[in-house]
Chain A
Amino acid sequence: MALAEHIVMRELDVPDIANFDVYRKHGGYETYRTVLKEKAPSDIVQVVRDAGLRGRGGAGFPTGVKWSFLPKDVYPRYLVCNCDESEPGTFKDHQIIDLNPHQLIEGMAISAYAIESHTAYIFARGEFATAVRTLEYAIAQAYAAGILGKNILGTGYHLDMYVHRGAGAYICGEETALLEALEGRIGQPRLKPPFPAVSGLYGKPTIINNVETLANVPLIVERGADWYRSFGTTRSPGTKVFSLSGHVNRPGNYELPFGVPMRELIYSPEYGCGMRDDRPVKIIVPGGASSPWLLAKHLDVTLDYESMTAAGSMLGAGSMIVLNDTVSAPHAAYKMDEFFKHESCGKCTPCREGTHWLVRVLHRMTEEGHARPEDIPTLHSIYNQMAGNCFCLLGESAVTPIKSALSLFPQEFEDLVPQRNGRPMIALDAKR
């Protein structure tokens, strides 16, 4: 059942909410005003904690808990909004900025006050040139109205907000690689600990939150934790914007409370409207390219962090790619691992070499049609050498597509090896 009222995709309830005046008319920035005039920063941290808001960038870590990791009495502190949305299948933050940018800015302003920060950056992926222009204009509107800048709304609080554009690198979604890019270096992750909350931008305490996470903050603060918890499940409270793509009739972003079965998202006439040409579901990638694959038999698994983990996958950023029976599992694994190979930053050997060899073997098997009998054990060997040995999660994520494909569709790999008289035939291609 569709939400009567949206928390993030409010453009569906209030047409033209992207317009500054419309946003103001519908109570926009009033929560921020109340916060500045009547609340202490610790009150905001507490309500976000009580609401159980979990990070929407993929990890699902409780936001209020993250905020409470800041060391006492160390300043300045920075707030950074992670808008490096680049994982195949993910396109929610892009839409939030296009259609409801002021709610993000208000959420950032409240969050910056909560963590006692006076400088906030939005790190947007380089390809988001249009979204950057939208944000810069919306931020200028907020400055012009006295909502950002010095002595905000007469309270003495000051906050500056800037957009920093990346330049094309998925790895910058990893929070420490993001900080490297924000500091003007190549986007390679830092060793953790220390975590950014302790030592982040310029070595100062820094909180990094996803776009959707921050866009949830204004309504949580306005209406309280109990109201927020009336949506979703006990351990996954609230609503989530799910990005649905692939072979569905109506791909798009849909905001649902946590706990709705995948079947409803894919088949409901309010959301995905079923599969194209009524073909069957073959592969569900429920949380972006780094999430383990699920099958049609999992359609009744519900969309919340715990159920997805129990089913052997993960909710991630809620980016569901649904593929039908025309897709070859080895080829889908090849395309997804090609993504990780392209985006590997080159810092650590297991990821840099592992993704290279996975793609080389998979390319030969799928695109060139020269699979060899030893390719299958080779693939198992490569991903086993990567798993648990990479510097950051990018390399670990690259293990997922190939491991999923080999375990769920082993026969499709066997079938790629040419046979003669019932025995595998070794191809005599020039590229040996």
Chain B
Amino acid sequence: MLLEQHKADIDAIRSRYAERRSAVLPLLYIAQDVYGHLSDAAIREVAEILDLPPTDIFEVAGFYTLFYTREVGKWVIQVCDDVPCCYLGAEELITALKDTLGVKEDETTSDGMFTIQRVKCLAACHRAPVVQANLDYFYDVTADKVDALLHALRERAARGDTLSVSGHRAEDYEIAADGSAQMIERRLGPMPASPAVGAPVDHETSAGS
């Protein structure tokens, strides 16, 4: 089923590597998004597509923390509890999340909406405490912003946004003073229309305008 549904993606991934095994991680991400988590059947399917022993794929799925071999919520909320986050409000944040949702670490709420986890450094220590939800970054999330965070996530789920626990649609957010989650825009500009083969860039007329 994966192969039929995502043939173009899978073919593109395979073409990037000299050896087919290199496609294991990208394909596991696709399988995880399609099935919500990596069930035994999903892992076997990846093994079959790549013609590799299933044991090898089970080993990989079990090793990496972003592969979920058990069912998770629509949103996987991951809170950094490392130094320095832990000294700047992460512990209070985790307590607030647990109290509000009535679950403990690595548990999912009964409505299947949220799974919460403690994770290690997320490489944004200057904006501690840092949280990821399906790998969307949320910066400066102190305990008083828990309600705003959960509200924003519930709204997006209710809007029917196709959520990707693997982060294929991930964006960066800040929680504004009014409690709304504001996306931090990527500012890469438009895709160039045609190849500028050999032609020097005209500094006067090109872009920026």
Contact = CB atoms under 8 A, between A and B. Distances in A.
Interface string B51-68: 000001001100111110
A93 B200 CA distance: 30
A412 interface: no
Interface in B109-142: 119-128, 132, 135-137
A296 B87 CA distance: 19
A273 B15 CA distance: 50
Q: DSSP class of B's interface residues: helix, strand, loop or mixed? A: loop
Interface string A144-156: 1111000101100
Contact of B125 (A18, A76, A146, A321): A321
A144 B192 contact: yes
A335 B118 CA distance: 13
A375 interface: no
Interface string A1-31: 0000000000000001011111011000110
A170 interface: yes
Given A87-B121, A88-B125, A332-B83, A25 B206 contact: yes
Contact of B126 (A18, A86, A128, A252): A252
A167 B82 contact: no
Given A24-B201, A91-B124, A16 B22 contact: no
Interface string B161-188: 0000011101110000000000000111
Given A19-B188, A151-B197, A184-B60, A89 B125 contact: yes
A427 B190 CA distance: 66
Interface in A101-144: 101, 125-130, 133-134, 137-138, 140-141, 144
A184 B59 CA distance: 11
Contacts of A202: 18-19
B65 A168 contact: yes
B84 A167 contact: no
Contacts of B1: none
A109 B66 CA distance: 30
Nearest to A25: B208
A313 interface: no
Given A91-B124, A127-B122, A183-B19, A335 B86 contact: yes
B29 A327 contact: no
Contacts of A251: 125-128
B143 interface: no
A235 B201 CA distance: 37
Contact of B188 (A127, A141, A170): A141
A93 B124 CA distance: 10
B148 to A, nearest CB: 20
A321 B120 contact: no
Contact of A134 (B84, B188, B197): B188
B26 interface: yes
Contact of A19 (B64, B83, B189, B198): B189
B93 interface: no
Nearest to A167: B64
Given A18-B187, A169-B63, A245 B170 contact: no
Given A86-B121, A127-B135, A339-B120, A183 B21 contact: yes
5 contacts: A130-B172, A137-B188, A144-B192, A185-B56, A345-B63
Given A33-B200, A285-B83, 6 more contacts: A21-B189, A21-B190, A129-B136, A141-B191, A183-B21, A326-B87
Interface of B: 16, 18-19, 21-26, 28-29, 56, 59-60, 63-67, 81-84, 86-88, 119-128, 132, 135-137, 166-168, 170-172, 186-198, 200-201, 203, 206-208
